């Protein structure tokens, strides 16, 4: 791919500054050295084996779920020609997984081995507490990602994301949310990790098969992160992530600024496909107008004629009314 503009870099000398940057952010940014003082980063700077030893000292003696690909894949965890996954998912103890990563570290064409989105508090003892970013009042999910050289297809997430490189190097290629059509997304229901991914091979784009990708690249930004560096990926921004070294560790924090009791927009999309997409065009046009009225415009005209206290879910949702709506939807879907 052609050279892409870099993601903006900012400085965050303290937690208050980082909090302000995150609250005000409308685009991604990189903070160099944000977590340089982490014990995990210091161990990784000694050697990849020192980083693995550090993780083993903190791990809980329970099975971990690990993805294992094939040699010759170039580290790409993706689909095969039949649109099945080109990797297997197995369960094993962490020392065995990390030991295998160490054994293939010097291989010229290793099979990718990838521990993805491992809950730090659930699978480690004290690791999160010793290696943590102060995010103020946010209550994030802290996850760790450990692997060999890997390429993860462009995808997006609903929560905001602060990702911190602890070992190795990672390259992030980011696209604004509105570029989804130009990324040529794959299936919604058959995905490597629960989110639709770009079908474009970023190492060898097929311009005939994916002609709109050139337009996506016109809006792309890139950053390469070293141990101690961090990147903020705002909600819904598309990101392609590459682990560039034989051994890589990333710690990330996900959080939503919206109340936790709100539903998932992805679920609404699936339900709309189930209930609306295959209707006749005139009915689809009707439901498009209804959604615009109740969901997207949602102005005072929707409820002004209904007495206060009788508007039901047309009033702003609360935890209680959202719970009732969820129960209603579950009953309807169960019929």
The pLDDT tens digits for 178-194 are 999 999 999 999 999 99
**Which domain, by its residues, includes 303?**
265-333
Asked, for residue 114, whether it belongs to a domain, the answer is: yes
Span 42-74, pLDDT tens digits: 999 999 999 999 999 999 999 999 999 999 999
The domain boundary residue, chosen from 218, 234, 255: 255
List, in order, residues 6 or more apart from 310 with CB less than 8 Å away: none
One domain for residues 311 and 228? no
Asked, for residue 241, whether it belongs to a domain, the answer is: yes
One domain for residues 223 and 321? no
One domain for residues 240 and 277? no
CA-based end-to-end distance of the chain: 50
Q: What is the pLDDT of residue 332?
A: 92
Span 105-138, pLDDT tens digits: 988 888 999 999 999 999 999 999 999 999 999 9
One domain for residues 236 and 280? no
One domain for residues 198 and 167? yes
Q: Decide if pLDDT at 147 tops 80.
A: yes
Asked, for residue 192, whether it belongs to a domain, the answer is: yes
Q: How many domains does the chain have?
A: 2
- Rounded Cα distance, 113 and 294, in Å: 46
Asked, for residue 277, whether it belongs to a domain, the answer is: yes
One domain for residues 101 and 197? yes
Q: What is the pLDDT of residue 63?
A: 98
Of the pLDDT bands very low, low, confident and very high (cuts 50, 70, 90), residue 2 is low
One domain for residues 70 and 164? yes
Cα angle at 329 between 323 and 334, to 5 degrees?
A: 130
The domain boundary residue, chosen from 210, 230, 255: 255
- Rounded Cα distance, 255 and 246, in Å: 30
One domain for residues 177 and 282? no
Q: What is the pLDDT of residue 326?
A: 95
One domain for residues 186 and 49? yes
Span 212-248, pLDDT tens digits: 999 999 999 999 999 999 999 999 999 999 999 999 9
Q: What is the pLDDT of residue 1?
A: 62
The domain boundary residue, chosen from 220, 255, 290: 255
Q: What percent of the chain has pLDDT over 70?
A: 99
List, in order, residues 6 or more apart from 317 with CB less than 8 Å away: 261, 262, 325
């Amino acid at each position: 791919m052609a050279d892409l503009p870099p993601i903006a870099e900012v400085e965050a000398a303290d937690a208050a500054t980082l909090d302000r940057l995150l609250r005000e952010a409308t685009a991604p940014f990189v903070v160099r050295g944000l977590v340089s003082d982490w014990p995990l980063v210091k161990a990784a700077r000694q050697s990849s084996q020192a980083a693995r030893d550090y993780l083993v000292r903190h791990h809980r003696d329970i099975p971990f779920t690990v993805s294992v690909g094939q040699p010759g894949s170039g580290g790409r965890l993706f689909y095969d020609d039949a649109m099945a996954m080109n990797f297997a998912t197995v369960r094993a103890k962490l020392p065995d997984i990390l030991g295998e990563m160490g054994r293939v570290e010097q291989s010229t064409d290793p099979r990718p081995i990838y521990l993805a989105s491992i809950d730090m508090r659930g699978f480690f003892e004290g690791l999160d507490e010793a290696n943590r970013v102060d995010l103020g009042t946010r209550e994030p999910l802290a996850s760790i990602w450990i692997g060999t050289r890997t390429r993860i297809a462009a995808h997006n997430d609903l929560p905001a994301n602060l990702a911190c490189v602890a070992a190795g190097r990672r390259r992030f290629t980011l696209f604004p949310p509105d570029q989804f059509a130009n990324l040529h997304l794959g299936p919604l229901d058959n995905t490597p990790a629960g989110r639709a991914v770009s079908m474009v091979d970023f190492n060898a784009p097929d311009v005939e098969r994916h002609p709109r990708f050139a337009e996506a690249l016109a809006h792309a930004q890139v950053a390469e992160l070293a141990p101690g560096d961090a990147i903020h990926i705002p909600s819904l921004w598309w990101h392609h992530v590459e682990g560039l070294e034989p051994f890589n560790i990333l710690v990330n924090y996900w959080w939503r600024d919206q109340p936790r009791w709100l539903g998932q927009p992805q679920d609404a999309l699936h339900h709309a496909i189930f209930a609306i997409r295959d209707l006749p065009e005139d009915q689809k046009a009707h439901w498009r107008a209804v959604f615009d009225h109740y969901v997207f415009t949602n102005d005072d005209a929707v409820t002004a004629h209904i007495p206060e206290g009788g508007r039901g879910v047309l009033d702003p949702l609360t935890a209680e009314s959202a719970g009732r709506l969820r129960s209603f939807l579950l009953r309807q879907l169960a019929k």
